[in-house]
Amino acid sequence: MTNTNTKKTKCSKILFASFSPWENGQRSPTNGLIEPMLDFFSPKIKRFVLIDQPHPGSDRLIPRVETYKRGKLKDIKKSSILVSFLYPILYLRNTLKTSLIFKIRDFLSVLDYGLLKREHFDLFIGLESVNTIAGVILKRFGLVDSVVYYVSDFSLKRYVNPLLNKIYLLLDRIAFNNADFVWDISPALMQARIKAGLDLKSVKTSIHVPIALFSEQLTSLPSKQTIPFSIAYAGLVSSENGPSIALKALKKVLRTFPKAQLHIFAMGRDIDIQKLRDLTNKLVIQKKVFIHGFISNQTDLIKDLSQYRIGLAPYLTKEGSHRWWADATRIRLYLAAGLPVITTPVPPAGNELTKNNSGFVVKDNETKFAKTIGLLFKNNNLYNKMKKNAIKQAKDNTWDKVYTKTLKKMNVSLVK
């Protein structure tokens, strides 16, 4: 819901509840948007408190509370004994799968901190519905002025179990209806909610808060310094992400451009990576395909990607896939590296490529991809124009700019 008041609301204290995988006692860089939130908000306000809830499968189980004052970490504490009582059950259910007991832990960790601390916050930001609903309860107790529901992932069919899926969609609706503001990672999420039964008469609208990058991560090379006729594929290599389309498209492209090569930064199960190798051998393109290990550090991955010409995101148009509603991080990474992107109608980010003329949206088959790759290879003027637009789009999509625009739409100003 957009703030319609003309007077800006001042915000000096924020409580943020999110998650992160923990391994070897360290927070993983792949987490619930903790780094960008800390980097942008904590230096600009008086007090920023993070409730970090370890993701299932982590080597720690009890949430910890980090307190930042004007950008500096001042205190770290665990959730109270109330949450710690759950430890034995959490330990037994600590797998990578979503578990009810972990959701209960997350919900309680927010109430635990808020109700015991009795500290007042101007803004509560909850990643996922469970945290947001807990934040709404804190607001009922007068401990929070406004609540933000931050949605980084959504699916109409998250769970195979119909009952669990109904509960999941119900929690989203409760969080959406009761939060003061909704930050959606994709503009397509509102369409998904309507499909799930959201009342069309709802006057509330969400704010689009896309996945972004830090400005220092943007790395692009002049066209002359990139590898001629090179193509990049980065990310998961499961079937719905379309790696087979990339390989089959390369086979067709080689007929016209024999120097073409495909570089795959593969992430996924060993069985999926092996399928990729098997298909490469079947197509007899082994000398033209380079399968690299996936680089988890985004800055390093972007730097590597910048040496190639084109980025592929060939998602399959599969009904029920969460890709229809989610933001596509790999597209953001390609743009940050200065690569024009070719994708399918699946990711909502494809609309931005079309609008900014920084890429193409084509059908999910190798013929269309091969034709579009060939077009960029033979038309240098078109390629350079799209590369320039890709760089500009990436510069306009940094975390600083995304969160600044978001606060402006909320009519909120940060103060120390």
Residues 285, 351, single domain; the answer is yes
Count each helix (H run) and each strand (E run) in the chain, helices first: 15, 18
Q: Do the beta carbons of residue 397 and residue 212 sit within 8 Å?
A: yes
Q: Do the beta carbons of residue 313 and residue 244 sit within 8 Å?
A: no
Residues 386, 403, single domain; the answer is no
Measured between alpha carbons, how far is 412 from 349 in angstroms, rounded to an integer? 27
Query: In whole angstroms, how far apart are CA 87 and each of 3, 31, 84, 117, 202?
Result: 41, 22, 5, 22, 40
Per-10-residue mean pLDDT, the chain, length 416: 63 97 87 92 97 94 96 93 91 86 95 94 96 98 97 83 88 94 92 80 82 95 96 93 96 97 92 94 96 90 97 90 85 97 95 96 97 97 97 97 97 94
Measured between alpha carbons, how far is 207 from 190 in angstroms, rounded to an integer? 10
Structural domain containing residue 243: 215-395
Residues 377, 265, single domain; the answer is yes
Residue 2 falls inside a structural domain: no
Measured between alpha carbons, how far is 264 from 305 in angstroms, rounded to an integer? 10
What is the number of domains present in the chain? 2
Which residue in 71, 250, 193, 51 sits closest to 135, CA to CA? 51
Residues 206, 292, single domain; the answer is no
414: enclosing H helix or E strand: strand 412-414
Q: Residue 231 maps to which CATH number?
A: 3.40.50.2000
Residue 1 falls inside a structural domain: no
> What pLDDT is attached to residue 322?
77
Please give the radius of gyration of the chain, using alpha carbons only, rounded to the nearest integer: 22
Residues 170, 280, single domain; the answer is no
Residues 197, 304, single domain; the answer is no
Residues 144, 223, single domain; the answer is no
Q: Do the beta carbons of residue 407 and residue 413 sit within 8 Å?
A: yes
Measured between alpha carbons, how far is 65 from 54 in angstroms, rounded to an integer? 11
Residue 200 falls inside a structural domain: yes
> What pLDDT is attached to residue 4?
46
> What pLDDT is attached to residue 319?
78
Residues 256, 121, single domain; the answer is no
Which residue in 139, 123, 127, 121 sits closest to 178, CA to CA? 139
Sequence-ordered strand ranges (E) for 34-143: 47-54, 64-69, 72-78, 121-127
Measured between alpha carbons, how far is 224 from 179 in angstroms, rounded to an integer? 50
Residues 404, 290, single domain; the answer is no
Residue 370 falls inside a structural domain: yes
> What pLDDT is attached to residue 1?
39
